[in-house]
């Protein structure tokens, strides 16, 4: 065969392979979008998630991109998943419930303790103006920063450090969400919410005990707290343990 002809055939072959890979990826995304819809319907709306901003965010964020390839198929199932370093990404319902408890309107500044995979940070970033997120493992923080940047989020700031101390530099926050469990509410977090209307959603309890998901509110400088449900989170490490 003449050289130019071989060259043209190779170009056509590469072109066809690229198109078919692209089609496969689009089909895959379509399937994940369907799973996301049924997750919202069957795991969130069917329970007590009614905040339309939360439902919309859960419908939008591609949860399957926050877990390793080999467990992608389970990304939208009704349970937590491993994300490396012995850590987990919470069950979709718990992410939605905690976000709903923050009672967000859209213009808030929110601090998250425990970046992990970055999934909860993405859900928050869909709803509010600014998200600040602290993670104690550098590897997890860097990985989620890259992913969230690639996904186009521009309203999230990342810090590697012990979230027991919050992130003083940008305080006060309208709301703080903690996604690992300390055995008491860290006093620095209480100091870093707004005096009027600041709130914290946090699981509290020892490693071997059932933890309680708490909602804490500050009004006129006074603290009110209430228990919501029993939960099981990875322990807060660092200063707390
Ligand atoms: N919000 C995460 C879930 C994270 S699991 C997500 O959506 O994927 C809890 C995370 O808290 C883990 O990544 C763990 O490393 C982190 N963590 C534990 N103790 C911490 C501390 N003192 N400060 C900051 N992060 C902490």
Q: What is this structure's pTM?
A: 0.91
Reported confidence tier of residue 54, pLDDT bands at 50, 70, 90: very high
Q: Whose CA is nearest to atom 17 of ligand 1?
A: 114
HEC letters along 98-145 = HHHHCCCCCCCEEEEECCCCCHHHHHHHHHCCEEEEEECCHHHHHHHH
Residue 16 Cα to ligand 1 midpoint, Å, equals 43
Rounded Cα gap, residues 156 and 149, in angstroms: 9
Residue to mutate, 115, 139, 162, 176, ligand 1, most ligand atoms under 8 Å from C-beta: 115
State pLDDT tens for residues 72-103: 999 999 999 998 888 899 999 999 999 999 99
Describe the crossing of helices 52-60 and 3-39 by its angle, rounded to 10 degrees: 150
Q: What is the mean pLDDT of residues 113-141?
A: 97
Q: What is the largest CA-CA distance in the chain?
A: 85
State pLDDT tens for residues 205-235: 987 778 999 999 999 879 999 999 999 999 9
At 210 the pLDDT is 86
For the chain, list the domains and their CATH numbers: 78-240 (3.40.50.150)
Residue 135 Cα to ligand 1 midpoint, Å, equals 6
Q: Whose CA is nearest to atom 13 of ligand 1?
A: 116
Residue to mutate, 96, 111, 114, 162, ligand 1, most ligand atoms under 8 Å from C-beta: 114
State pLDDT tens for residues 138-174: 999 999 999 999 999 999 999 999 999 999 999 999 9
């Amino acid at each position: 065969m003449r050289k130019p002809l071989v060259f043209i055939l190779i170009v056509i072959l590469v072109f066809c392979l690229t198109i078919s890979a692209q089609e496969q990826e689009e089909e895959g995304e379509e399937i994940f979008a369907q799973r996301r819809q049924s997750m919202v319907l069957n795991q969130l709306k069917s329970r007590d998630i009614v905040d339309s901003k939360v439902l919309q965010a859960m419908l939008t964020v591609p949860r399957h991109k926050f877990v390793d390839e080999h467990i992608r198929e389970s990304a939208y199932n009704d349970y937590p998943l491993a994300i490396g370093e012995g850590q987990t990404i919470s069950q979709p319902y718990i992410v939605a419930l905690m976000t709903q408890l923050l009672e967000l309107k859209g213009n808030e500044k929110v601090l998250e303790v425990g970046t992990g995979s970055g999934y909860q940070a993405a859900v928050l970033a869909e709803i509010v103006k600014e998200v600040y997120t602290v993670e104690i493992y550098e590897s997890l923080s860097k990985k989620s920063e890259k992913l969230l940047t690639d996904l186009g989020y521009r309203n999230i700031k990342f810090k590697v450090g012990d979230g027991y101390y919050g992130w003083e530099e940008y305080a006060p926050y309208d709301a703080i969400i903690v996604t690992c469990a300390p055995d008491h509410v860290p006093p620095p977090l209480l100091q870093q919410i707004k005096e009027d209307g600041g709130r914290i959603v946090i699981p509290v309890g020892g490693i071997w005990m059932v933890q309680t998901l708490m909602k804490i509110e500050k009004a006129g400088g006074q603290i009110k707290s209430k228990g919501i449900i029993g939960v099981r989170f990875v322990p807060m490490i660092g200063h707390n343990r």
